[in-house]
Structure 1
């Protein structure tokens, strides 16, 4: 799978998310996973010899692993699709800013507890979505990196397509749907065998 092949990434992820209830569960819980994953990363040491950036009394930004994580996700999304990728990169940046603010205000001990509780709720909800509604194991069991990296962008593209009919290029959704249908058919045939 080409690293920047949006069609293949989206088809892979979409084949594991065809049930509308499961898709809704992912729409609700995927971005909070990214947000709360950034909370403990606030407490990592700076990766550059730069001073923390104080936006206000309640927000101190540190160019640490949380920032690096955000930067990698943002650049990857923009490389996949300029328009939706730019929006996704902005959302990633906002997640970093607000998770940093929350972590700073909560302090190390409470921030970890909040992040852990949120992660447990979000991940459990998604596994329930796959077990009860999708009836298929999550994509992360077949390709962990691809599933974790693509999940926020996949959800954003789903929302943009549903609300605004957005396509990265003409015919994108038709091509992806054909690939998803073929993958699901192949999976069901293997399941029966």
Structure 2
């Protein structure tokens, strides 16, 4: 899957060159992920005698996909997903159902708005998923790749995302 992921990432990057658009995506993707799992966190499920939620079960297929695309980035997203699943569980445990649905709606509005603003105002281009719907699942990989690059890891991805090796002169 490595070459497939690199081709998809290179295509995705073409829609995400502006740093402000990228920043908007960090918040938008996190907010939309949280909005997706919040309602599912209300639904308890027992699997093999272990109590969990529908949210935890729902993220497994996409986590597997991300691991298959790139193991290290998938592991980074797993850590973020665990943190967000934990946050969702706390929110659901501390608020009413109406409060949870209100927060979900707010997160969706802010998440979608940040994506639209990032593309229209800063990038001046339509979102990547309009041309290729599979890019919806590449957003978290892109954000995690940018984090890995910022931390000094993944020169191979820095070449794709930044157009030059990490540490190379501009």
What TM-score range do you get, normalising by the shorter chain?
Answer: 0.7 to 0.9
Q: Which residue of 2 aligns with 1:148?
A: 136
Query: Cα gap change, 1:148/1:165 in structure 2, threshold over 3 Å: closer, same or farther?
Result: same
1:131 aligns with 2:123: no
Q: How does 1:61-76 map to 2 (within 5 A)?
A: 62-64=52-54, 66-76=55-65
The 1:120/1:155 distance shift into structure 2, 3 A limit, reads same
Checking the alignment, whether the CA contact within 8 Å between 1:35 and 1:99 is kept in structure 2 is yes
RMSD: 2.4
> TM-score of the superposition, structure 1-length normalised?
0.73
Alignment of 1:37-186 (within 5 A): 37-44=36-43, 46=45, 48=47, 50=49, 52=51, 62-64=52-54, 66-144=55-133, 146-161=134-149, 163-167=150-154, 171-175=156-160
Q: Which residue of 2 aligns with 1:182?
A: none
1:10-29 to structure 2, matched below 5 A, reads 10-29=9-28
**1:73 Cα shift?**
2.6
Change (3 A) 1:4 1:74: farther
C-alpha displacement of 1:82 = 2.1
Q: Distance in 2 between matches of 1:156 and 1:50?
A: 33
Find the aligned partners of 1:50 and 1:23 in 2 and give their Cα distance.
41
Unaligned runs of 5+ in 1: 53-61, 179-193
Structure 1, 113-122 or 147-156: larger mean CA deviation: 147-156
Distance 2:74 2:138 in 1: 11
Query: Which SS does the other structure have where 1:5 is aligned?
Result: helix
**Count of equivalent residues:** 163
C-alpha separation in 1, matches of 2:39 and 2:159: 40
3-state secondary structure, aligned to 1:110: helix
Distance 1:7 1:176, change over 3 A: farther
Deviation at residue 89 of structure 1 after TM alignment: 1.1
Please tell me whether Structure 1 or Structure 2 has the larger radius of gyration of its CA atoms.
1
